[in-house]
Structure 1
Amino acid sequence: MKITVLGASGRAGSEITKELAARGHQVTGVARNPARIPTDDGITAVSGDVTDAAALPALLKGADAVISAVMFTDSDPETLIGAVKAAGVPRYLVVGGAGSLEAAPGLKVIDTPDFPEIYKAEAAAGGRFLDRLRQETDLNWTFLSPSAVFDGGERTGQFRLGGDSLLVTADGRSAISFPDYAIAMADEIETPRHSRQRFTSATDPRPRASSSAKRGRLKEKDPGDRSPGSSSFQRDAGDQTSEAGSTLKPGPIVDDRVMRFT
């Protein structure tokens, strides 16, 4: 598959780029500074500006899917969505944030009392981006929100998927590493399950039989730039319990690390 990743030099974008290339896809990474894009086999680094509405469609043309991994406050949804549609790309996936997820029924994470003021602008912009996508009737989009803590860490293949609610473990933790998030994104591209939906991912304390992990596609994490949404939050149909009885569920946040919500 030919896949273009916007923001491929950031921490989330670079992990997604490497994961897709490791699976045999032809990946074009786009960034203002292409020298910071991973150089693995199967990756073509291209210089590009996501705010350039005139030039962006040409960069995307010919792709089977586009992934946007850029800061919401540094981009415009109309420009990005318009470029994807103008280029005729059939699928558009977005690295989301966690602020728009529900911490409790009717209460978004961004509206909780302890949500840091410093992250509100990015979280609010992410929520508006999701709202804009939900107005689309022609574009096949997917918005993947990470957990409350979205940072470095190992590639474990141990994670669960949910919907519009923040997923937390029984002891109140909500986290996902960049490499595991990249697996979830790549899985969604290869086997679409959330067309025109937002979904979320969170670390699962028990082993997950990830097909990509089984195939030995383990890659070292890139220590590059902090990713968009690097504290994060999106839709769940209810509790999700593992075979071993470990539960990831929507619920109150008791781990103070989740207060890193960009």
Structure 2
Amino acid sequence: MKIIVFGATGDVGSRVLTEAIAQGHDVTAMVRNEASLSKLPEAVKGRIVDLTDTAAVAASMSDHDVAISSLRTPSGREGEVVALTQSVLNAASLVNIRVIIVGGAARLRLPNGSPHTVLSDPNFLPENVVPTARASFAQFEICSRSSDADWTYASPSALLRPGVRRGEFRVGTDTLLVDETGNSEISMEDFAVALVAEAQNAQFKRSSFTVGY
């Protein structure tokens, strides 16, 4: 399978590259500048693209089977990821390629009958995380409204951090996954496993999923 990855040098994107290569896929990494090309594994083809140029993004996607977009924007500019995600969705619809949007947990309902989502609960998120959560929820909303793009929206657990690749996790849809002690967590490595699996299996076309231990 030919997979193109946006945000390929980020925390999640770089792990998607590693996982996809290990599984024998033909992988292209889209980056923003020359400096980022040097960060890519040798087995990955690198391309530079202006994500605000929808036509250029579409051209970069056109010879691939599926795209994975793990875009993030710097602190203080969290909301900019929404327009970039819209550009990726528009480009994907132009060339009829399936795209997996790597989002956040903000949209997920809290378990045990809570009326809140991760974002709406006033006591769930640290204040410094709220701008990122709002941006990820906005990403989810533009996916949900899209009638043209063949999208999938992927949410990690509440805590996403570097770890080990266990290769074992649970998959859910719209409710935050928690373990027996109430923790909600997934390693970036296993999140990447889940993303590549969705690229291969297309279980959540025009819908959303989440993963956790």
Q: TM-score category by the smaller chain?
A: 0.7 to 0.9
Would the alpha carbon gap of residues 151 and 65 (structure 1) be closer, same or farther in structure 2, given more than 3 Å must change?
Answer: same
Kindly indicate whether residue 122 of structure 2 is the aligned counterpart of residue 106 of structure 1. Answer: no
Cα distance, 1:150 vs. partner? Answer: 0.3
Which deviates further from its counterpart, 11-20 or 50-59?
50-59
Confirm whether residue 79 of structure 1 aligns to residue 80 of structure 2: no
Report the CA distance between 1:17 and its aligned residue. Answer: 1.2
TM-score normalised over the length of structure 1: 0.72
In the TM superposition, residue 26 of structure 1 has moved relative to its aligned partner by 0.9
Give the structure, 1 or 2, with the largest relative contact order (CA under 8 Å, sep 6 or more): 1
Matching residue's letter, 1:27: V
Identical positions, percent = 33
More helix by share: 2
Q: Is the 8 A contact 1:2 1:63 kept in 2?
A: yes
Displacement of 1:78 in angstroms is: 2.6
Match of 2:147 in 1: 137
* Contiguous gaps of at least 5 residues in structure 2: 73-77
* One-letter code aligned to 2:65: D
CA distance in 2, matches of 1:109, 1:195: 23
Question: Match for residue 19 of structure 1?
Answer: 19
Distance across 2 between alignment mates of 1:189 and 1:108: 27
Relative to the length of structure 2, the TM-score reads: 0.88
Q: CA deviation at 1:127?
A: 1.1
| 1:228 aligned residue | none
User: What is the SS of the residue equivalent to 2:54?
Assistant: coil
2:102 matched to 1:95? yes
Q: Pick one of 181, 184, 192 that aligns with 1:182.
A: 192
Pairwise mapping of residues 211-226 of structure 1 onto structure 2 (< 5 A)? Answer: none
Q: Is structure 2 residue 172 aligned with structure 1 residue 165?
A: no
C-alpha distance in 2 between matches for 1:74 and 1:30: 18
CA–CA distance in 1 between the matches of 2:69 and 2:20?
A: 14
Superposed displacement of residue 2, structure 1: 1.1
RMSD over aligned Cα, in angstroms? 1.7
Structure-1 residue corresponding to 2:54 = 53
Does the CA-based 8 Å contact 2:61-2:97 persist in structure 1? no
